[in-house]
């Protein structure tokens, strides 16, 4: 039997233990006993990045924001889609997650952090969104905790409610898009997005390419 190895551990601002594990060449990040992400299940994160940026291919100097680095799949998809003149800000709360990507996960997506288009910001994505000027970003992607109904860190709840969504509508350019990953479909969240001035699409997403059913949801909110 191949053992599961804990590679590293860090403490979140809420005092929980965040840990990186490896098993037979695959990686996962857990908070306590709750699995947040797994390298075998990155298809929905790839889709998040693709859907958020596919309309930006012909844009001159697009600027996008990714909230949550995770295992780097969304970043991978965005960099594959966008051209050399793009600016991609990746906001990650935990410095350890950035360090893990550069070290343990360098053969997964970690080397993408060295791409000249990428700016890594160690911060709470709320603070970045709150301090941004109006109409700054062409697209914003949020993959924070497990979505609007899957809050792991209590402070992240503010991202998914009225004030946070209205703030997102402010920093997105006209015609821009917000894409939000969620482990669940949440009709109340759709209504809050609509109330904030977005046109909303609900996109089912699979656990992996060969999955027979869709387990996750991506909310696309267009300004």
pLDDT digits (tens, 9 = 90+) for 162-172: 889 999 999 99
CA distances in angstroms from 119 to 46, 75, 94, 150, 203, listed in the order given: 19, 11, 15, 27, 28
The pLDDT of residue 150? 47
Q: Contact 155/126 with Cβ under 8 angstroms?
A: yes
Angle (CA) 135-59-199 rounded to 5° is 55
Q: Tell me what percent of the residues of the chain surpass a pLDDT of 90.
A: 73
Cα 215 to Cα 182: distance, rounded to the nearest angstrom: 10
Closest CA to 69 of 33, 105, 40: 105
pLDDT in tens, 69-117: 999 999 999 999 999 999 999 999 999 999 999 999 999 999 999 999 9
Closest CA to 92 of 70, 117, 114: 70
Cα 118 to Cα 35: distance, rounded to the nearest angstrom: 27
In the predicted model, is pLDDT for residue 152 greater than 70? no
Q: Contact 151/118 with Cβ under 8 angstroms?
A: no
More confident position, 196 or 152: 196
Global confidence as pTM:
0.93
Query: Integer distance in angstroms from the first to the last C-alpha of the chain?
Result: 51
The pLDDT of residue 17? 94
The pLDDT of residue 200? 97
pLDDT in tens, 24-42: 999 999 988 888 889 999 9
* Mean predicted confidence (pLDDT) in 169-190: 93
Closest CA to 101 of 90, 113, 89: 113
Q: Contact 221/180 with Cβ under 8 angstroms?
A: yes
- Mean pLDDT score across all residues of the chain: 91
Q: Which domains does the chain have, with CATH numbers?
A: 39-222 (3.40.50.150)
* Mean predicted confidence (pLDDT) in 129-148: 89
């Amino acid at each position: 039997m191949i053992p599961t190895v804990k590679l590293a551990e860090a403490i979140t601002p809420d005092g929980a233990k965040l840990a990186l594990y490896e098993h037979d060449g695959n990686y996962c990040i857990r908070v306590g006993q709750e699995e947040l992400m797994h390298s075998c299940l990155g298809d929905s994160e790839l889709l998040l990045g693709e859907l958020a940026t596919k309309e930006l291919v012909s844009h001159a100097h697009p600027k996008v924001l990714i909230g949550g680095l995770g295992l780097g799949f969304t970043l991978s998809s965005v960099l594959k889609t966008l051209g050399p003149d793009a600016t991609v800000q990746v906001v990650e709360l935990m410095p350890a997650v950035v360090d893990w990507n550069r070290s343990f996960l360098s053969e997964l997506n970690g080397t993408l952090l060295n791409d000249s288009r990428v700016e890594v910001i160690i911060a709470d994505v709320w603070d970045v969104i709150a301090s941004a000027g109006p109409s700054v970003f062409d697209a914003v992607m949020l993959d924070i905790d497990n979505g609007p109904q899957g809050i792991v860190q209590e402070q992240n709840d503010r991202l998914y409610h009225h004030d946070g969504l209205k703030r997102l509508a402010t920093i997105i350019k006209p015609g821009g898009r917000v894409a939000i990953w969620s482990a669940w479909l949440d009709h109340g969240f759709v209504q809050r997005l609509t109330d904030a001035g977005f046109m909303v699409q609900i996109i089912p997403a699979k656990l992996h390419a060969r999955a027979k059913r869709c387990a996750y949801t991506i909310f696309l909110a267009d300004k």
